[in-house]
Amino acid sequence: MTPLELGLLGAGVLLFGAFQVSVQARWGATLGLALGGSFLTLGGGNLFLLRWWPTPGEAHSTGVVGFFPSGGSPEYVGGQAGWVYSGGDLKFILLFLFSLAGVGFLRHPARGVEPLLLGLVSVVAGLITFSVDNLILLYLGLELQALCLYTLVGFFKFQEERTDAALRYLLSGSLVSGFMLWGFARLYGGNGTFQAGEFLGWDSLGSAWVLGVILFKVGAAPFHFWAPVVYTPLEWGTLALTTGAAKVNLWYLLVGPLGGVVTSAWWPTWWAGLLSVGVGSIGGFFQTSLGGVLAYSGVINGGYLLLLSTAGVGGSFFYGYYLVVYLLSTALLVGLLSVWGDTRFETQFSAWGKLGVAFPLVVYYLTLNLGGLPVFPGFFAKLALLGGLGGFGFFLLWGVVAASVVPAVYYVAVGVGALFKPLGTEISPPGWPAPVVVATLVVGFNGVTTLVVGM
């Protein structure tokens, strides 16, 4: 555990565990931890979007439209995947999500500080997995993270839907925990060490089991079944953690310490990616809650990232850029929508117009951004994604773009609710200690420190 993680955990336990501390102080502590942590994580400020800005590739010389599997075959990857980037940006997003979730929890002080502590532990456990390549430590970190999330999902035990969701999450999560043990055991057996960096080869079967774990945890097909059920009844705080914080480190591991999994289980990864793109684009269309939409959004974006991971080192740059934009956009949308206590948008979305002109317009912007429409960052992320997938041939590219149109349509349905539907319920402005304010503060602070440090 690095000093940063230890410090975060210690400060959090002290601040949130202490009795007789006012809600305002806890709010300040949450924000302070997120700001301080993100500042340290990024090495004193770093506007990550600039780091991942795409550049044009080299000119092609064949004059052919492209052919499969040029640039994407296992031979091409040749074990070069992994250790592509440090993950500093992703750690920032983890802390950012913690701040969103924490402030979301603090909006209901009667529910106690336990959700806040559980959220902090899950985030610190996620941070730990960025720092290690020992399989045992990885297993412990991932399990600790997952246990906190199971508990958070089922924390409000009198809500039947959430109890049901927590039970499903726990049971299926336990099953994949077994997958992980089995996969790690095979990898250990083949190499005689737990250190992933010292592996001489990655056993195919063991890699496939580990891939199953990753697919489950990031909510990608065919192990996505739990996500809509679990996300739908959640309140915004827990939703921010399960949609984002539970996945960030997994995406890092896939191209970091566990990068050999993709090399060894290339075809399963590729097919899972393709399946996720299809399932995500179709499934999301039929959702009636924002939790469901976010779940299928996770499926399709997971599919894109899986496909990018199979593009090897050629796709790593695009992978990072796409991941950051997708995670940050989702987090900002969740932060913004958390003005409401419920994620069911059929009855709630129409009330947004009451908050003035800017609020629904920002929601509209974020939904267009998530849909990858020009000229928002999401569009450039999609360009980067397609650039990374260029090696798979023109027709796969076409299929991916076609599939990406459907989510854009259902994302915009959220915007339609915000912009046009008549007012259904009485609401009041969120007030300044709201997740949306925290989102602005954290991103703004990051930008300011970037400027200061940069100058």
Partner 1 sequence: MSLLFKNLFFSFVSVFSGLFSRVDESRERYFSWFNQFGLVLLLTVGVGLSWVAPPAGVWLWLTPLGGALLYGLIFGFTWIDPARAGSWAWWFSLVGLLLVGSASLGHPPGGATLVGGLLLDSLGLPYVFLTVTLLPLVILASLDSIRQNQVTYYFWVLFLGGVLVLCFCVEDFLVFYILFEILGFPMFLLIGQHGPRGQRVSAAYKFFVYTFGGSAFILPVLVYLHWGVGSTGVVDLRGYQFTEYEQALFFGLCALPFGVKIPVVPLHLWLPEAHVEAPTPISMLLAGLLLKTGGYAFLRFLIPLFPYGLYVWGPALTGVALFSVVFGSLYALVQVDIKRIIAYASVAHISLVLVGILTATPGGAAGATYLMLAHGYTSAGLFAGIGTLYDRYHTRTIRAYGGLAGVIPLGGVTFFILSLGNLSFPFTGGFTGEFIILAELGRSNLVVCFLAGGTVFLSLVYSMWLFNRLWWGDSSARVTGHTELTPPEVGVLFWCTGGCLLLGWGGSVFVDWTRECYAQLLYTSLGG
Interacting residues with partner 1 (CB under 8 A): 56-60, 63-66, 357, 364, 368, 373-375, 379, 382-383, 386-387, 390, 394, 397-398, 401-402, 404-405, 408-409, 412-413, 416, 419-421
- Please identify, using beta-carbon distances, which residue of 286 and 420 lies nearer to partner 1: 420
The pairs formed by 150-153 with CB atoms below 8 angstroms and a separation of 24 or more are 151/118, 152/115, 152/118, 152/119, 152/122, 152/238, 152/241, 152/242, 153/230, 153/234, 153/238, 153/242
Contact 123/94 with Cβ under 8 angstroms?
yes
Tokens at residue 190, please? 């083949």
- Please identify, using beta-carbon distances, which residue of 123 and 385 lies nearer to partner 1: 385
Q: How many residues does the chain have?
A: 455
Helix (H, G, I), strand (E, B) or coil at 62: coil
Cα 252–Cα 257–Cα 263 angle in degrees, nearest 5:
95
Residue 15 exposed, middle or buried by CB count within 10 Å (0-12, 13-18, 19+): buried
Minimal distance in Å, beta carbon 67 to partner 1?
A: 12
Minimal distance in Å, beta carbon 349 to partner 1?
A: 13
The backbone torsions φ and ψ at residue 397, rounded to the nearest 5 degrees and listed phi first, read: -55, -45
Minimal distance in Å, beta carbon 311 to partner 1?
A: 12
Buried b (16+ CB within 10 A) or exposed e, 366-376: bbbbbbbbeeb
Report how far apart the first and last C-alpha atoms of the chain are (Å, whole number).
32
Minimal distance in Å, beta carbon 371 to partner 1?
A: 8
Minimal distance in Å, beta carbon 399 to partner 1?
A: 9
Cα 323–Cα 247–Cα 33 angle in degrees, nearest 5:
90
Amino acid at 133: D
- Please identify, using beta-carbon distances, which residue of 12 and 387 lies nearer to partner 1: 387
Contact 97/240 with Cβ under 8 angstroms?
yes
- Please identify, using beta-carbon distances, which residue of 402 and 448 lies nearer to partner 1: 402
Instruction: DSSP letter for 201, please.
Output: -
Minimal distance in Å, beta carbon 281 to partner 1?
A: 11
- Please identify, using beta-carbon distances, which residue of 267 and 394 lies nearer to partner 1: 394
Minimal distance in Å, beta carbon 357 to partner 1?
A: 6
Helix (H, G, I), strand (E, B) or coil at 94: helix
- Please identify, using beta-carbon distances, which residue of 132 and 363 lies nearer to partner 1: 363
Minimal distance in Å, beta carbon 69 to partner 1?
A: 16
CB count in 10 Å sphere of residue 7: 16
Minimal distance in Å, beta carbon 112 to partner 1?
A: 41
- Please identify, using beta-carbon distances, which residue of 261 and 403 lies nearer to partner 1: 403
- Please identify, using beta-carbon distances, which residue of 253 and 400 lies nearer to partner 1: 400
Contact 387/57 with Cβ under 8 angstroms?
yes
Q: What is the 3-state secondary structure (H, E, C) of 49-60?
A: HHHCCCCCCCCC
- Distance between CA atoms of 114 and 102, rounded to whole angstroms? 11
- Please identify, using beta-carbon distances, which residue of 112 and 356 lies nearer to partner 1: 356
The backbone torsions φ and ψ at residue 134, rounded to the nearest 5 degrees and listed phi first, read: -85, 130
